């Protein structure tokens, strides 16, 4: 499908290029041809009128004619009585040409006598009829050469444009290709995440249904397992909806006090951190203002804090907020189990888990950091992670 789309984009690009090329050629040809015809018409009219004046005023000097101009004088019977120079046409051809021209009503126009092309202008004098011819074969040859040059240039440009179009078409569909791959991975991962709790629920229900005992105490273990998996599926669905919202929602920001929002977002974690025997260190510069969505910012902070608390068994969690180089810098650091170097570039991918068995036991679905990353992107921010195994993790967010 994507290859077909790439071919279609290439064909459209080439068609547009050749259409523009054709319009340029036709426009150039028409403008140049019109300009030359007007110039020749003016010249022939000037020659004809001067010749009439010369007949009326014998004292005027004969006009020196350009080499492509042929002046023909006819008598009242339309017979050739004089020409300005030796003609490239035979006498019979001149006679036939003048007879055809005198039969035309138009005073000016064009006429062909193979292999020559002429532009003509005729005028009636007192004693004679005068026809001025301008030989246009050179201009015709010029336009033929111009057409050939344009054809060669068009062919070469077409080959070059084809290569360029293929390159840019590939670049144009690359985001689509990546999006399709992400959607494919997403569907596979979501199916896997949903399949596991459903299998557990199904197996526990089979145990309950196959048992002859109907006391709650006998089946409490299996029912607790079902309750746990249903709760996990509910959380997964909530996270999937949140992920979809952060990818699809438009920006509806207002200027808020980010320092106050961050402090409010951290308050619920004081008890959890204290119960786990951890220490929370905060360095928050006051009155840092930011255009943002308050709800999404708090959601982002919750994800990073939840992530830090979950994977830190002792030590502290540090949260810092300050202005640095005209940017807002938010830092969240923990002293937990850390992330392997190979996994640091993948932690923001949907459903990615560095330690799948451990994450499963701790209820992680691999969506939290993906949601946080989307929220940061929504606010035109960037996030980076520094971590080592058993040495903690540091997330740096810049807005």
Mean pLDDT computed over every residue of the chain: 78
Q: Same domain, yes or no, for 258 and 394?
A: yes
Inform me whether the pLDDT recorded for 145 exceeds 90. no
Q: Same domain, yes or no, for 258 and 381?
A: yes
CATH number for position 65:
3.30.450
How many CA atoms within 13 Å lie on the side-chain side of 296?
24
pLDDT tens for each residue of 298-357: 989 988 998 899 889 888 999 999 999 999 999 999 999 888 877 787 888 876 766 554
Q: Same domain, yes or no, for 10 and 137?
A: yes
pLDDT tens for each residue of 229-251: 777 677 667 666 666 666 655 56
pLDDT band at 48 (very low <50, low <70, confident <90, very high): confident
CA proximity to 249, closest of 292, 193, 189, 186: 292
Q: Same domain, yes or no, for 257 and 394?
A: yes
Q: Which residue has the higher pLDDT, 33 or 86?
A: 33
Domain span at residue 384? 252-398
**What pLDDT score was predicted for residue 327?**
94
- Does 117 fall in a domain? yes
- Does 181 fall in a domain? no
Q: Into how many domains does the chain fold?
A: 2
- Does 338 fall in a domain? yes
CATH number for position 310:
3.30.565.10
Where does a domain end: 141, 168, 192? 141
Q: Which residue has the higher pLDDT, 166 or 383?
A: 383
Tokens of 50: 């001067």
Element (H, E) at 375: helix 368-378
Where does a domain end: 141, 162, 179? 141
Task: Please state the length of the chain.
Answer: 399
Q: Same domain, yes or no, for 256 and 394?
A: yes
Tokens of 375: 């929220």
**What pLDDT score was predicted for residue 168?**
78
Where does a domain end: 89, 119, 141? 141
Q: Which residue has the higher pLDDT, 208 or 331?
A: 331
- Does 268 fall in a domain? yes
Percent share of the chain, pLDDT over 90? 17
Is 0.75 topped by the overall pTM? no
- Does 163 fall in a domain? no
pLDDT tens for each residue of 98-142: 888 888 888 888 888 777 788 888 887 666 788 888 887 777 777
- Does 385 fall in a domain? yes
pLDDT tens for each residue of 370-380: 888 888 988 89
From its phi and psi, is residue 315 left (phi > 0), alpha (psi between -120 and 50) or beta?
A: left
Q: What does the pLDDT average to over 149-154? A: 80
Cα 266 to chain centroid, rounded = 41
Cis peptide before 43 (omega within 30 of 0): no
Q: Same domain, yes or no, for 257 and 387?
A: yes
3-state secondary structure of 235: helix
CA proximity to 239, closest of 365, 50, 92, 87: 365
Residues with Cβ within 8 Å of residue 97, at least 6 apart in sequence: 89, 111, 113, 118
Can you tell me the distance from the alpha carbon of 354 to that of 344, in angstroms, rounded to the nearest whole number? 9
Tokens of 137: 């074969």
- Does 213 fall in a domain? no
Answer positive or negative: Cα dihedral of 236, 239, 241, 243.
negative
Can you tell me the distance from the alpha carbon of 333 to that of 339, in angstroms, rounded to the nearest whole number? 13
pLDDT band at 28 (very low <50, low <70, confident <90, very high): confident
pLDDT tens for each residue of 260-301: 999 999 998 988 898 899 999 999 999 999 999 888 899 899
**What pLDDT score was predicted for residue 358?**
46
Element (H, E) at 110: strand 108-113
Q: What does the pLDDT average to over 138-167? A: 78
- Does 232 fall in a domain? no
Tokens of 94: 């001149």
Q: Same domain, yes or no, for 135 and 265?
A: no
Q: Which residue has the higher pLDDT, 200 or 101?
A: 101
Q: Same domain, yes or no, for 130 and 257?
A: no
């Amino acid at each position: 499908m994507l290859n077909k789309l790439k071919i279609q984009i290439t064909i459209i690009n080439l068609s547009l290029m050749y259409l523009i090329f054709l319009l340029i050629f036709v426009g150039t040809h028409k403008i140049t041809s019109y300009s030359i015809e007007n110039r020749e018409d003016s010249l022939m009219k000037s020659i004809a009128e001067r010749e009439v004046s010369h007949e009326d005023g014998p004292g005027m000097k004969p006009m020196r004619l350009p080499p492509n101009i042929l002046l023909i004088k006819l008598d009242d019977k339309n017979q050739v009585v004089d020409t300005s120079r030796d003609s490239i046409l035979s006498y019979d051809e001149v006679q036939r040409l003048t007879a055809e021209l005198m039969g035309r009503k138009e005073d000016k126009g064009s006429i062909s006598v193979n292999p020559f092309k002429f532009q003509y202008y005729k005028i009636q004098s007192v004693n004679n009829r005068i026809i001025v011819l301008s030989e246009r074969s050179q201009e015709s040859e010029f336009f033929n050469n111009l057409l050939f040059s344009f054809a060669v240039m068009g062919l070469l440009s077409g080959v070059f444009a084809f290569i360029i179009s293929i390159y840019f078409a590939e670049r144009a569909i690359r985001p689509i290709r990546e999006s399709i791959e992400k959607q494919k991975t997403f569907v596979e991962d979501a199916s896997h995440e949903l399949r596991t709790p459903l299998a557990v629920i199904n197996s526990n229900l089979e145990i309950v249904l196959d048992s002859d005992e109907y006391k709650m105490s006998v089946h409490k273990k299996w029912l607790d397992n079902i309750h746990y998996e249903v709760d996990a599926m509910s959380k997964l669905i909530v996270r999937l909806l949140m992920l979809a919202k952060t990818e699809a929602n438009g920006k509806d920001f207002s200027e808020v006090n980010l320092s106050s929002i961050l402090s409010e977002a951290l308050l619920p974690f004081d008890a959890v951190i204290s119960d786990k025997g951890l220490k929370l260190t905060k360095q928050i510069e006051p009155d840092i203002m930011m255009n943002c969505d308050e709800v999404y910012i708090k959601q982002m902070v919750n994800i990073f804090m939840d992530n830090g608390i979950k994977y830190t068994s002792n030590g502290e969690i540090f949260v810092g907020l300050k202005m640095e180089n005209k940017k807002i810098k938010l830092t969240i650091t923990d002293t937990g189990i850390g992330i392997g170097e190979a996994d640091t570039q993948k932690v923001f991918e949907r459903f990615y888990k560095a330690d799948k068995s451990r994450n499963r036991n701790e209820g992680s679905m691999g969506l939290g950091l993906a949601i946080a990353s989307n929220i940061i992107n929504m606010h035109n921010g960037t996030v980076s992670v520094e971590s080592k195994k058993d040495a903690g993790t540091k997330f740096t967010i810049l807005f």
